[in-house]
Structure 1
């Protein structure tokens, strides 16, 4: 999973929330404990002051009882227990004044207040004292933490179908139309999943209809071609028979070419990949174009071995040759190649539009004569199926169409020269 995933983002947000809540509760506990300690100190300060004033005779018994009535701090009168506590208790805090001193003692988780004046020592026990407890804050923190955790789990479960939906979208992007409906409810994500599934099913139906339509057309065309070919064989041998046979053979090649092109433009994977030399591919393209070899000038000294679909790649080169024959001023084309590109040079004026305009099906120039039809559209789709790029530039009255990035399909670095190939053949 990518680190920019929404699942990582949500998890990060909730972890940050938990850390923030934990820090806030730690601060709250510390703050609350300090307040509790200040309240105890204020209480003991009042008790100590009143007791010292009473011991020095500065206030009456009635005044003392009036000031102490809100505090449950009885005096420890048992001498044995008193001496034991005074000797074994831990002094938490001690304050000394002119009239005496007071100290807060801790003994067996209980607070005592020791007050001294002259030679007299009093020991008061805080009956209301309870050690500071975190229980309430812990309970609140646990409830908040549990609420956040449940919320996180709920949100993750709600958006979990996004992962399955993403996998189905990736399958669709790779040309696989056999996807599953990952909808799990009535929320927005499920609605998107339903809409995507229905769209793909509609595309699948249209694709199946298109394929059936094309197969029927090719089947219907092959029937009269086959009958015509049989009929031609019955004609007396001669130049007319040869011409008719070549015409029917050309029609058969066109149908097979049409089927191959349909496979490429439909985005179906390449099933007939192999190792072929560029010279073989060009020879096949010239044969398909049915033109004189002298009108195609090959301008590379060393042949290149490519990993391609022989039929489709030959058709791409054939379409470039066809365009050269139609639109170049001298009705000739030059083919140059290196380890990075295959270039097709033709003499002519610069195109009126960008290449993107002409690789659309049935694109036209200023008039019908300048129509590129499906030629460049087919070339572009065949190159894309091989992972290549189609480009164009115009230099010195020369139109240059290029198959870029062919280094991706070169299968070896050492090249055979054309002379060596000729010798072998």
Structure 2
């Protein structure tokens, strides 16, 4: 989910925009339709006035139709058609009015005006896209068709709405097109981080993503150049160191004094061991290609580590299920376990190391006093617990470096006189 945060944000913005635009157009549609109905309903006043004069003056039906025809009003005379329209038509608006009929009367006191108040209901109807006015009074009703007026249509509003939605959708597609190079760039960076040093970030274009990609390509070339120079320098210097060490070892054998011979043999042996550890450290730190990582049984790796350590088998005991496997570089992981075996035997009180699995984590237990410093102190290069011990202080540093390559960490705990180092 977090890896697609930008895409999800764009989708969310699109959805919010579409919903907002749709809501605004819906409200505008209802308001526009209401105003349209209110506007055309004002015609009922003209119809009411013509119909009232017809009733008061008792004019003929032909005269009523002629007066209505002036305003393009037509009386629906078919009784069956009237019933059908009144039954199926949609009522747009209704209004109740009071009609006042006046008549001159004569009594003992003379002439007077007699007023009669009657209720009248005006209904505006829509049937088959035609507008009708239905007037209902105490003495009858009439259904009038307005030929000059059509029912409300939403086509222009719908056209505007669809146009805006299309523009928003096209904009969204263009944004996605702009984001595609960013997605490809993320994948290339992931490959580069996984060790593919030959991946190319170079791209054409002048936008911000293209500029970032080309800057990354320039940085990649510089990093590769530095790594190649570093590797070449280390390999050359180690090669140059091995030659005088080998010559010194041979020359030592020509000494007459056994004491001097042993002293120089120890010195050149330690130098050779140091160069070997430096070579291994260089290999670990420069390891970028994980394609040679394969699956091995853990018991096979431990057996190889014991052989590499050249210690008595009785000094190491392990309780590991033969079905447990791990994926990694066999030589490096074997070296890490070998260093833990050497370290455990060297600093334990009984010269014994126990290897076991606890909570799916590989543990190395040895009896002895708790380490004097935090673990972080010992995984730094050239640090060791006892300076008199025959080591360079690179063992745990090398173990930590190998575990990092295998996406693991080195941990330590002390429990009832037992030091426990853990590959977590």
User: Displacement, 1:163?
Assistant: 0.8
The aligned residue for residue 407 of structure 1 is: none
How far did residue 211 of structure 1 move?
A: 0.8
Q: Which residue of 1 aligns with 2:42?
A: 42
Deviation at 1:192, TM superposition (A): 3.8
Relative to 1, partners in 2 of residues 1:248 and 1:145: Cα closer, same or farther, differing over 3 Å?
same
Aligned residues of 1:52 and 1:99 also touching (Cα < 8 A): no
Instruction: Find the counterpart in structure 1 of residue 71 from structure 2.
Output: 73
Deviation sequence 1:32-64 (CA, Å, 0-9, x none): 2233223322322x1233123322448xxxxxx
**Normalization by structure 2: what TM-score?**
0.69
Unaligned runs of 5+ in 2: 58-66, 100-117
> What residue in structure 1 maps to residue 302 of structure 2?
278
Q: SS of the residue aligned with 1:175?
A: coil
Tell me if 1:297 matches 2:315: yes
Aligned length: 378
1:419 maps to which residue?
Answer: none
Report whether the alignment pairs 1:160 with 2:153: no
| Aligned equivalents of 2:293, 2:166: Cα separation in 1 | 59
Q: What residue is the counterpart of 1:11 in the other structure?
A: 11
Which of 222, 228, 246 is equivalent to 1:208?
228
Q: How far does residue 345 in structure 1 lie from its aligned partner after superposition? A: 2.0
1:347 is matched with 368
Deviation at residue 244 of structure 1 after TM alignment: 8.2
How far apart, CA to CA, are the structure 2 residues paired with 1:118 and 1:75? 22
CA distance in 1, matches of 2:190, 2:243: 40
> Structure 1 residue 205: deviation in Å?
1.8
CA contact (8 A) 1:72 1:127 kept: no
Local SS of the residue matching 2:414: strand
- Confirm or deny: 8 A CA contact 1:383 1:389 kept in the other structure: yes
Counterpart of 1:61? none
Distance 1:189 1:363, change over 3 A: farther
Aligned to 1:335: 353
Q: Which residue of 1 aligns with 2:405?
A: 385
Cα displacement string for residues 87-134 of structure 1 (whole angstroms, at most 9, x for unaligned residues): 535234687963877665767744454668899998865354122121
Q: Any idea what SS the aligned residue of 2:47 has? A: helix
Alpha-carbon deviation of 1:167? 0.5
- The equivalent of 1:55 in structure 2 is 54
How far 1:4 sits from its partner (Å)? 5.0
What CA RMSD, in Å, does the superposition of the two structures yield over aligned residues? 4.7
Aligned equivalents of 1:177, 1:235: Cα separation in 2: 50
Contact 1:392-1:400 within 8 A present in 2 as well: yes
Structure 1 unaligned residues grouped into runs of 5+: 59-67, 77-81, 288-292, 405-425
Deviation at 1:7, TM superposition (A): 1.3
Give how far 1:12 is off: 3.4
CA shift at 1:213, angstroms?
Answer: 0.8
TM-score (norm: length of structure 1): 0.69
Aligned to 2:216: 196
Q: Compare the two structures and name the one with the higher strand fraction.
A: 2
1:320 positional shift: 3.4
The corresponding residue for 1:88 is 81
